Chain A
Amino acid sequence: MENDSRNNDLSRVLGPERRQRRHLIDILQDIQAEQGYLSRQAMLEVSKFLDIPGSSVWGVATFYNQFRFTPPGRKPVKVCLGTACHLAGGQLVLEATARELAIEIGGTTGDMEFSLERVACIGCCALAPVLTIGGEVHPRMTPPRVEEAFVNIKAAAPGAPGTESLP
């Protein structure tokens, strides 16, 4: 599992030049970039490093939309619900994706392959509605095209667990 190989050593992120409160958010951003999410342990380590209460770290981390507290799937799925996407039927795309993956918004599939998020605007308004799967943009989606996209991805991954491994 990729999860296990994720770097748990924070020494690279917690360099002495960053031992200031003003670096709290970029430290958290870097940890999330490396580990995919903010674990309780990582946040406690940051609190010790900056000498601020753990509750402050938690308070800041939960305030901002960027941070997540559970491990994401290997291929994060993000459905855009910015204004243009919403008006073009983004909500239906989101529902179709949740149905396709059989998970809730914010959840991860049992095999850790996909996680599902709604995002504010990824700046592809001319291609609305869009979703991204593992960073790849899929333009002008409709519920049937969502199904198609996942069928293609699952078919393209050799030896990948099929739909039956999804909860």
Chain B
Amino acid sequence: MVGWFAELGLADRPQVGGKGGSLGELARAGIAVPPGFVVKTAAFERFLEAAENEAPVRALIESVDPDSLADVTALSRQLRARVEAAPLPQDLAGAIERAYGKLNESHQAAVAVRSSATTEDAADASFAGLQDTYLWVQSLEQTLDKVRSCWGSLYSVESITYRRRHQFAERDVAMAVVVQTMVDARTAGVMFTRSPLTGDRSVMAIEGSWGLGSAVVGGEVTPDRWVIGKITGEISVREISDKQIRHVPLNEGGIQSVAVDESQRQIPCMSDVELEALRIVGRKVERHYGRPQDIEWAVDRHSGAILLLQSRPETVWSSREAAPVGRPAEDPSLHVLKIFGGFTR
């Protein structure tokens, strides 16, 4: 019911969801990710089975009218309350407790608890953003709570509506949960292993800002931006912005937004050496998957290590690949007519 990242890969997605499979795949490929484990869908099935024994869950969803917001809202409220209040089966709680203990032997206590739905991040039906993530969770008790909250997020208004609109069979829908050491990020951000502007596969675009990556992903800060030659490492664009806020962990769990110190606001949040290291990692990930990636990364405040939090296939440009730029010619000299022949360049 629980699997460590190093034991998992993309092929395990039906059991560990998109996020869990991706983190496992990265870890296996030798990419540094914050260590953690996945509470597999089997655990969710086991939990839901117990719940269904008390009162129906899936049948209620399949019969709700997705166009009636009132009905969906009422159902969502009811199911989430049930999921969050239901006790975990003993064997399941034990398994999570053991894994959590092991994670804490070598690492600090704070973890991120992330939903990882089985169909999430799949190209055909993106659930991305519809499930909850809980950052900076401080204790085993909280962790167990947040695992149930993640399961519960499967019954959010948006999630239910989305599934009904797309007519997914409820029995095919399951939720895995990633429990992962939190990175106390000095700097964090995103990286596209192709240009978001032109689709150029020979450059990478990196955006980053001080603190946790949630400030960048959530659009709460204008990040620094670089464009780097994927192969040459040449930095062709450097836009250092005025980074006014950063996200930091709260002692009691969760995160908060604080003002960036005046002296730090307009200096680059990444050194050239770090950008180069990030380029190498990005290239490795892209090569591993054989296609451009959309990556979330962070620099550990204490160790300075660059860690990947997530990597997904880039979808915008990949879905509209252009016509081939050229074809071999019978006589290679014919190519020069592009220049000499009076065609518009």
Instruction: Report if A and B associate in a common complex.
Output: no
